[in-house]
């Protein structure tokens, strides 16, 4: 899922995400959208879909990760977390119930429970207290979520026909082109639980059991890719994913590089989000089938090759590394836009190839070839 922190994916138009890259779902940031433009505005305009005109799915995080990143500006207690806005310093309070209310106002298709996000190197006792808090907050999140759904507080996605999603389903069945042009969703938000426990495998199992006992539409692995060794992340996923429910999506939050995606799929994960393709695109780093390219390097000054000769995106079909380097060196905003475009194309195409190889029963071969090409380049 490309990350759309402020309601938009940085450096790329929705038309490109939809028509060329075919991104089916993006991520929105509850914390940032709550602070600005604010829930009153978003509810007044009919929710995030209407506000930003993104007519496909949205997953919103709970806001917890951003709040817990404000180490010196927050105070944690059982009811929730009190913190000061990074924008104006105003005092705010976020609880499981408030997070559910915000996400109902946003009208995202997938809602995340509010969890406590411990640091990657948290010791056993700290991680245990954290996961117990997360479990209690998850139960409160689900209770409030159900109340809001029953009360019709989810702004949801309303189609052009003016009805809730389910009411327009018949039109899409008889006119497939209508469904492609204006995809209909089911009119009810899905709620995902989050598994914590840092790098302590017994705690991960305990958190999983508590979360599954509450019961959710999908299950996320949180608290990874936060500074721990890569091997620790892989070991945790390999231990945890096979134990997660088979009939629900498995979501690895905040990960990662193309290699991470392929390795995590190999270990049983279905869904990912990360700022890497867009953030790195803005700083001149491109991801390719042969590894990363730093477009700022002088060796690209006269290089007429595309970023990736194996890539069929619009940027690689038209522009050379030499031109992209020139744009970056001269401070042209187009440099960030074009490299971001390519990076998102590469990440989404990688996942498309993963899905295709799974359908053909050759994912193991695909994984080996994919990782070998990158390793040989490095």
Q: Which residues carry out catalysis?
A: 61, 273
- Is residue 71 a contact partner of residue 124, using CB atoms and an 8 Å limit? no
Distances (CA, A) of 168 to 150, 315, 334: 21, 37, 40
Strand partners, 192: 112, 218
Apex 282 CA angle, 325 and 367, nearest 5: 90
| Residue 222, Cβ density class (10 Å: 0-12 exposed, 13-18 middle, ≥19 buried) | buried
Q: What is the DSSP string of 212-272?
A: HHH--SEEEE-S-SSSS-HHHHHHHHHHHGGGS-TTS-EEETTB--HHHHHHHHHTT--EE
Apex 275 CA angle, 272 and 280, nearest 5: 130
H-type alpha helices, 70-164:
96-106, 124-150
Distances (CA, A) of 356 to 106, 217, 230, 353: 33, 25, 26, 5
- Is residue 292 a contact partner of residue 286, using CB atoms and an 8 Å limit? yes
Distances (CA, A) of 171 to 53, 57, 155, 177, 186: 21, 19, 22, 10, 14
Q: What is the DSSP string of 299-310?
A: GGTT--S-S-TT
Distances (CA, A) of 40 to 48, 154, 374: 12, 14, 47
Closest C-alpha to 5, from 28, 36, 26: 28
- Is residue 234 a contact partner of residue 263, using CB atoms and an 8 Å limit? yes
SS3 content of the chain, % helix, strand, coil (to 5): 50, 15, 35
Residues 6+ apart with CB under 8 A from 153: 101, 104, 105
């Amino acid at each position: 899922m490309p990350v759309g922190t402020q309601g938009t994916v940085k450096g790329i138009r929705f038309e490109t995400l939809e028509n060329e890259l075919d991104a089916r779902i993006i991520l929105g940031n509850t914390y940032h959208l709550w602070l600005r433009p604010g829930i009153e505005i978003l509810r007044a305009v009919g929710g995030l879909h209407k506000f930003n005109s993104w007519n496909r799915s949205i997953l919103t995080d709970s806001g917890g990760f951003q709040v817990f990143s404000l180490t010196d500006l927050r105070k944690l207690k059982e009811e929730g977390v009190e913190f000061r806005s990074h924008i104006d310093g105003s005092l705010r309070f976020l609880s499981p119930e408030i997070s559910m209310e915000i996400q109902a106002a946003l009208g995202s298709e997938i809602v995340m429970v509010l969890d406590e996000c411990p640091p990657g190197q948290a010791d056993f006792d700290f991680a245990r207290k954290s996961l117990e808090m997360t479990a209690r907050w998850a139960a409160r999140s689900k209770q409030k979520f159900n109340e809001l759904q029953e009360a019709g507080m989810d702004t949801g996605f309303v189609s052009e026909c003016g009805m809730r999603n389910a009411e327009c389903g018949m039109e899409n069945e008889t006119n497939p082109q209508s469904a492609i042009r204006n995809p209909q969703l089911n009119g009810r938000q899905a709620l995902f639980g989050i598994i914590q426990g840092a790098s302590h495998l017994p705690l991960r199992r305990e958190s999983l059991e508590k979360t599954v006992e509450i019961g959710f539409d999908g299950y996320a692995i949180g608290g990874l890719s936060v500074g721990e060794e890569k091997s620790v992340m892989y070991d945790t996923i390999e231990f945890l994913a096979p134990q997660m429910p088979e009939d629900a999506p498995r979501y690895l939050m905040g990960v990662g590089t193309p290699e991470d995606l392929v390795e995590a799929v190999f270990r049983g994960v279905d869904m990912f989000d990360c700022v890497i393709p867009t953030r790195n695109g803005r700083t001149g780093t491109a991801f390719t089938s042969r590894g990363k390219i730093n477009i700022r390097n002088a060796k690209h000054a006269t290089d007429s090759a595309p970023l990736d000769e194996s890539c069929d995106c619009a940027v690689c079909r038209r522009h050379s590394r030499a031109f992209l380097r020139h744009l970056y060196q001269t401070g042209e905003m187009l440099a960030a836009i074009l490299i971001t475009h390519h990076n998102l194309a590469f990440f989404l195409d990688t996942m498309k190839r993963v899905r295709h190889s799974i359908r053909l029963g050759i994912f193991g071969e695909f994984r080996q070839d994919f990782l070998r090409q990158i390793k040989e380049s490095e």
